[in-house]
Amino acid sequence: MSAHTSGEWLLLFCTIAIVIFLAVTFKRRFWDEPLKHGPGFFLGVKVSPGFYEGEGIQWLRRYHTVVLATDSILALAVLAIFASGRWYLFPVWAGGTAVLHTATLQGFTYYTRATLGANPPVHSSVAVPLETRRLSDYISWRVEALIAVITALSWALLLTNGDARIHWNVPVVFTYLILGLLPFKVVVARSSFPLPADRPEEHHRWMKAQRRYWLHVQDSSRWFFIVLLGGYALLHGWHVASANAWPRWLMIGITSAIWLYMAVTIVRGERRLTAMGRDLLPVGSWSTPFRPARLMAPGFAVAFGVWFGGLILLLVFFRH
Amino acid sequence: MFLTIDANDKRPLYQQIVDGVKALIASGELREGMTLPSVRQVANDLSVNLNTIAVAYRQLQEEGFLRVRHGAGAVVSSRLARGVEEEALRKPLRTALTQLILGGRNDREIIAAVRQELELIRQKGDSR
């Protein structure tokens, strides 16, 4: 490996800091996820007393294997980036950690609900909040317009002034991530679940906090990719940026800061939701006579599947 | 503010919604000008047919409690039922009183029970 520049040392430092942060904080959060609601539940599925002395051992082992496999893939990817010296891939890896963790955790949770929690307890009473929900309560259309303008300007710069070194798959993937997450926001903002008639206020407060948390995480990830797209357009479409090293490092610095902010948001948000929902019934752990138990809002799984599938197709088949 | 729906209740679902909204209006928790969620939102929250909620809202509108705005929810328009004759108001009271008499309560106990229930309705509104 050639001698590192000061910028590369900075990136190395940031990466190590993030990996330590992931290992110490994230790992603990993911590892204990099945027990988040106490020993009476496994990943939000109600289990019988003594579960963790019998069948639960297998379930925990399966879950921990998936967590370890996910983190091993991420560790190998970051090692490959170091070994090959392709530092520009680091932001993609940082964003990929969030996507991969979410996809594997949600996938395993779905599997658990479909097998272990296939027949959830049915409650005859259900509470309905008489509170009006509007999309504009959760989505700022001005910010969405700003995002659209930055995206359009980035593309305009690349198309009119782009140099010969542009890999078109990069702005296409970033644009897909930025715009593709908007339908998710709509699904999340509209999501709702029946509330148990027992302590409906607390369940409702928890549901609203969860909705805000998910939107916050999505917004952070979108801004992460917006900075990457804008930075890419500047580096390949503005000669001052391409001729100097500092714009590249500025972009990496900003994206790393956003990523760190996103990580802190996730950890703090999860901690807060766990504290709020410790004694409450997890979503999807019970059913009503009117509707089956649902882990996610209708449309969320479909939207996520389409979006994630599209992303994989783009990454695999669209090389230049 | 919440409506509680019970699948074991003998009343149909739409009637539980009508009665629940009326109870909230009577207690003062729902005041004139306050907005209720749209038919679509309530149907989605309960995962029941849109028509079930639409029927409940239509009945509340016909009785003068709600003004439904298409696509934007419904507004509480009045605390007083519209066009309900004295006889229609007294009929359920008479049924309830008959039940109390048949249950062996004397006049004093019945009046005390009525006062107590009225107080409960008012307290519910004041506590908000």
The mean pLDDT of chain A is: 83
Report the pLDDT value the prediction gives residue B118, as an integer from 0 to 100: 85
More confident residue, A3 or A314: A314
Please name the member of A128, A197, A289 whose beta carbon is closest to the beta carbon of B45: A128
Residue B14 near residue B43 (C-beta atoms within 8 A): no
d(CA A227, CA A237): 15
Residue B45 near residue A128 (C-beta atoms within 8 A): yes
Question: B5, B30, B40: best mutation site toward chain A, by most A Cβ within 10 Å?
Answer: B5
The arithmetic mean of pLDDT across residues A243-271, rounded, is: 82
- What residues are paired with A41 via a beta bridge? A46
Give the DSSP H/E element, type plus range, for residue A249.
Answer: helix A246-277
- The answer to whether B37 contacts chain A (CB < 8 Å) is yes
Helix A169-190 to helix A300-317 angle (10° resolution) is: 180
Q: Is ipTM beyond 0.90? A: no
| List of chain B residues whose C-beta atoms are within 8 Å of the C-beta of residue A128 | 2-5, 42, 45-46
Give the contacts of A206 (CB within 8 A, at least 6 positions apart).
Answer: A273, A276, A277, A280
Please name the member of B1, B5, B6 whose beta carbon is closest to the beta carbon of A130: B1
For A132-161, what is the HEC assignment?
Answer: CCCHHHCCCHHHHHHHHHHHHHHHHHHHHH
More confident residue, A28 or A140: A140
Please name the member of A128, A132, A289 whose beta carbon is closest to the beta carbon of B2: A128
* Model confidence at A123: pLDDT above 80: yes
Strands (E), chain A: 41-42, 45-46, 125-129, 195-196
Percent helix, strand, coil in chain A, to 5, is 70, 5, 25
d(CA A243, CA A239): 6
d(CA B128, CA B124): 7
Task: Verify whether the Cβ–Cβ distance A125 to B24 is below 8 Å.
Answer: no
Token pair for residue A115? 């097998």
* Closest-approach residue (CA) in chain A for B47: A291
Report the pLDDT value the prediction gives residue A1, as an integer from 0 to 100: 42
Token pair for residue B31? 């005041």
* Model confidence at A93: pLDDT above 80: no
Please name the member of A124, A195, A200 whose beta carbon is closest to the beta carbon of B6: A124
A180-205 b/e with 16+ CB inside 10 Å = b? bbeebbebbbbbbbbbbbeebeebbe
Residue A20 Cα distances to A11, A15, A257, A273, angstroms: 14, 9, 15, 24
Q: Is the CATH number 1.10.10.10 carried by domain B13-76?
A: yes
Report the pLDDT value the prediction gives residue A262, as an integer from 0 to 100: 81
Closest Cα in chain B, distance from residue A184 (Å): 18
Question: B38, B47, B65: best mutation site toward chain A, by most A Cβ within 10 Å?
Answer: B47
Q: How far apart are the first and last CA of chain A?
A: 27
Closest Cα in chain A, distance from residue B70 (Å): 14
Task: Verify whether the Cβ–Cβ distance A124 to B8 is below 8 Å.
Answer: yes
- What are the backbone angles phi and psi of residue A11, rounded to the nearest 5°? -65, -40
Please name the member of B36, B46, B47 whose beta carbon is closest to the beta carbon of A130: B36
The arithmetic mean of pLDDT across residues A219-244, rounded, is: 86
| List of chain A residues whose C-beta atoms are within 8 Å of the C-beta of residue B8 | 124-125
Closest Cα in chain A, distance from residue B13 (Å): 10
Domain boundaries, chain B: 13-76, 86-126
* Closest-approach residue (CA) in chain A for B75: A132
The arithmetic mean of pLDDT across residues A239-247, rounded, is: 80
d(CA A189, CA A139): 8
- Of the candidates A157, A217, A173, the one whose C-alpha atom is nearest the C-alpha of residue A316 is A173
SS3 (DSSP) at A42: strand
Report the pLDDT value the prediction gives residue A149, as an integer from 0 to 100: 96
Which portions of chain B are predicted below pLDDT 70? 71-72, 81-84, 124-128
**Over the stretch A48-65, which tens digit does the pLDDT of each residue have?**
888 898 899 999 999 999
Report the pLDDT value the prediction gives residue A2, as an integer from 0 to 100: 46
Closest Cα in chain A, distance from residue B121 (Å): 18
d(CA A264, CA A220): 11
CA A39 vs. chain centroid, Å, equals 26
C-alpha dihedral (B97, B103, B109, B115), degrees to nearest 10: -40
The arithmetic mean of pLDDT across residues A151-176, rounded, is: 89
Residue A46 near residue A40 (C-beta atoms within 8 A): yes
Lowest-confidence pick of A27-41, A264-278, A283-297, B85-99: A283-297
Q: Categorize the per-residue pLDDT at A4 as very low, low, confident or very high, splitting at 50, 70 and 90.
A: low
- The answer to whether B71 contacts chain A (CB < 8 Å) is no
Cβ-Cβ pairs closer than 8 A, A with B, add up to 73
Please name the member of A131, A133, A290 whose beta carbon is closest to the beta carbon of B47: A290
The arithmetic mean of pLDDT across residues A85-95, rounded, is: 70
SS3 (DSSP) at A219: helix
d(CA A7, CA A81): 15
Give the DSSP H/E element, type plus range, for residue A97.
Answer: helix A90-115
Token pair for residue A246? 């500092």
Question: A130, A187, A205: best mutation site toward chain B, by most B Cβ within 10 Å?
Answer: A130
The arithmetic mean of pLDDT across residues A150-173, rounded, is: 89
Q: Categorize the per-residue pLDDT at A267 as very low, low, confident or very high, splitting at 50, 70 and 90.
A: confident
d(CA A64, CA B71): 47
Q: What pairing do the DSSP bridges indicate for beta strands A41-42 and B35-36?
A: unpaired
Q: Residue B36 gets which letter from DSSP? A: E
